[in-house]
Amino acid sequence: MKLKIFILITSIFFISIDAQVLYNYPKGQDFYEGGREGFNKDIQDAAVKSGIKPCEKTEALFMRFIIYPDNQVKYVADPDTLAVANNKCIKDKVLGLMKSVKNWKPAELDGNKTAAMFCTLFTDDLLLKKGFSEEEFSNPVYMYKDKESDIMKFRENFVKCFDSNGYRANLDYSFVINFDVDTKGEAGFFYIENQSDLEKFNKMVVDCASNTKKSYWKPGYYKGVPVKQVFRMPIRFNAY
């Protein structure tokens, strides 16, 4: 039986957490009144009211938070400790301003409120209403055999990894793998939506998306500062 693998890869700008915490909000739900635009406005208003000043150097830090059913918000500690240390000014400002931001919307699952994560990139340009420009960002670059490649090569290598493991199935199956590329170019914080009951299969998914001796990432940047980015990879297996 032949197995076909269809992979669609998108990069969004924007392991395992406790099983009671959703990796992200269900489709159609917002983490804040007015969505991301409403959140940006309120944290910017809080920044103006507090009279914060720009950091001494350009800083940019991707941060995750968990919103709980009782509207409590907690910062998710970042394993990329170097990025946190290099962007301490912006981190401290954001954590201070979050105390003044109130209009959270807990996620709902099957009619029940549940804890869920949201994430975004914080910079002085965001907090001080200067705005972002596409020209100020550069995306992560996939490296293969020490040569710059593209997402199609990552896709190709991912598929080859599955083929080399000899996986076969007689039923259609789909899942989504989410992962970060951090400021050192490391792939991590893996999360599989609709994961298999087979641990060996889930491990294979993570292994195939991880850095290897022959393939790895160069990080993305914002104004010359390395920043974490998130990848979302839907995968569908059609067996026939």
Please write the tens of the pLDDT for every residue from 28-69.
Answer: 999 999 999 999 999 999 999 999 999 999 999 999 999 999
73 beta partners: 67
State the Cα–Cα distance between residues 184 and 226, nearest whole angstrom. 8
Residue 39 phi, psi (nearest 5): -65, -45
State the Cα–Cα distance between residues 69 and 72, nearest whole angstrom. 7
- Give me the residue spans of the domains in the chain: 3-12+137-239, 21-134
Q: What is the largest CA-CA distance in the chain?
A: 65
Token pair belonging to 132: 């972002």
Position 51: which residue type?
A: G
State the Cα–Cα distance between residues 206 and 61, nearest whole angstrom. 25
Selected residue with higher pLDDT from 4 and 124: 124
Sheet arrangement for strand 137-138: 137-138, 220-222, 225-227
**In this structure, are strands 112-123 and 21-22 parallel, antiparallel, or unpaired?**
parallel
State the Cα–Cα distance between residues 156 and 145, nearest whole angstrom. 14
Q: What's the mean pLDDT in 66-87?
A: 96
pLDDT tens-digit readout, 138-176: 999 999 999 999 888 998 898 888 765 555 556 677 888
- Which of 37-41, 85-89, 128-132 has the least mean pLDDT? 128-132
Please indicate, yes or no, whether the overall pTM of this predicted structure exceeds 0.75: yes
Averaged pLDDT of the chain: 87
In Å, what is the CA distance from 17 to each residue of 117, 170, 173?
10, 32, 24
Residue 150 has what DSSP assignment? -
